[in-house]
Amino acid sequence: MAESTPPPPDNSRTPMVSPTSSRSVTETVNSSHKFVIQGYSLAKGMGIGKHIASDNFTVGGYQWAIYFYPDGKNPEDNSTYVSVFIALASEGTDVRALFELTLVDQSGKGKHKVHSHFDRSLESGPYTLKYRGSMWGYKRFFRRALLETSDFLKDDCLKINCTVGVVVSAIDCSRLHSIQVPDSDIGAHFGMLLENMEGSDITFDVSGDKFHAHKLVLAARSPVFRSQLFDNVEEDKREIAVLNLEPKVFKALLHFIYRDTLIEDAELVASNSSCVSSVSDTLTAKLLAAADKYELARLRLMCESHLCKYISVNSVAKILALADYHHAAELKAVCLRFAAENLAAVMRSDGFEYLKENCPSLQSELLKTVAGCEEDCSSGGGKSRSVWAQLSDGGDTNGRRVRQRT
């Protein structure tokens, strides 16, 4: 009996699988940093191979810094050129990046000196930094004699702009269509509630100025208000007098409670270094005190961040005292670190005299911070004892240099 041949498969009944796709995208994550070098003439002579460093800045998940060598990096050039480099300041392996260095023309003519990897073809691809401390830049960035007579140097100041583009690759699996969700506007809604005074059930009298608010909102935001409004005899009160707080400060306090942002007020701009005596009188400093009083941790941190921008040799001592008094731990730590790194100059400031007279306990904390900063270069504690003598006796400080980095 002959065998029968099986029928061919019915492809019409085989389920079709949708094709898949993906896309590899290689691009750069870019960010810029502006580095101002004030006192160029004083930086000269620090030595070949020694540099001034910018603050670290973050691009593409890595820390970077600009190194400026006033006497050049190459001993063979005998200080004929200044050198500028961009350094990888955090841990990393084979970090690929594009760079741009711009020496700013301060005459207003726009004739900047630019060295850039961007917008041009690179024969060997982006530059690769092998490990932390690797650098890209120019040993002969600019002839020093020409620089000192050019429009790049103005009022003994140089300005260098740096752009870093870190190369990243990723698989793009995003959908063809997306729906954008707007940022939260709950603060705007609560802010309107404050402005319209609708449903307000409590009034605050601040030096004669009346502020209407809502007990539940205040209690939800501040444990101090919660206790004041619901845990004691003032629960049934319709009006409460606020002492030791100015109306403008209380207004800024309510603005934060309802909107979760700092009030937009010109007075929030802290005093500059020439007016350090009034740091404690700024609206930001008074708002910091109010945040501490009403246990508003986020507001306190916002004020700390704002005051941090105005730390200088002349202001750091008083800002440190302010931070210590109002439990501003982050601001205090920054002040201690800055004062330790610039100890000689800080000790000659009027603010340091204020610190010695009014906050002697902070001197021991400053000593510990100095010891921590110098731990790597100290031997047997001799350096720390010298610093202690300076702090306690006001001895010779000429031996220390401000933030010298090699």
Convert the pLDDT of each residue in 305-363 to its tens digit.
999 988 888 888 889 989 999 999 999 999 989 888 888 888 888 888 888 888 878 87
Give yes or no for residue 400 having a pLDDT over 50.
no
Range of the domain at 352: 300-393
**C-alpha–C-alpha distance, residues 125 and 104, integer Å:** 27
Between the CA atoms of 54, 59, 62 and 66, what dihedral angle is there, to the nearest 10 degrees? Answer: -20
Least confident interval from 60-69, 170-179, 316-325, 380-389: 380-389
pLDDT given at position 169: 87
Q: Do residue 207 and residue 161 come from a single domain? A: no
CATH code where residue 237 lies = 3.30.710.10
pLDDT given at position 175: 54
Structure tokens at 379: 């031997």
Q: Do residue 314 and residue 351 come from a single domain? A: yes
**Average pLDDT value for residue range 281-302:** 93
Q: What total number of domains does the chain contain?
A: 3
Between the CA atoms of 361, 358, 317 and 274, what dihedral angle is there, to the nearest 10 degrees? Answer: 180
Q: Do residue 327 and residue 227 come from a single domain? A: no
- pLDDT tens, residue by residue, 122-173: 777 888 999 999 999 999 999 999 999 999 999 999 999 999 999 998 877 6
Nearest to 261 by CA among 226, 293, 231, 301: 301
On whether residue 7 sits in a domain, the answer given is: no
Q: Residue 53: count other Cβ atoms within 10 Å of its Cβ.
A: 15
pTM score > 0.85 for this model? no
- The amino acid at residue 309 is K
Q: What CA–CA distances, in Å, run from 69 to 52, 80, 82, 298?
A: 6, 11, 6, 40
351: left (phi over 0), alpha (psi -120 to 50) or beta: alpha
- Residue 116: φ, ψ to 5°: -140, 140
> Of the spans 205-209, 339-343, 383-387, which averages the highest pLDDT?
205-209
Q: Do residue 305 and residue 252 come from a single domain? A: no
**C-alpha–C-alpha distance, residues 334 and 307, integer Å:** 11
On whether residue 264 sits in a domain, the answer given is: no
pLDDT given at position 267: 59
- pLDDT tens, residue by residue, 220-255: 999 999 998 888 765 677 889 999 999 999 999 999
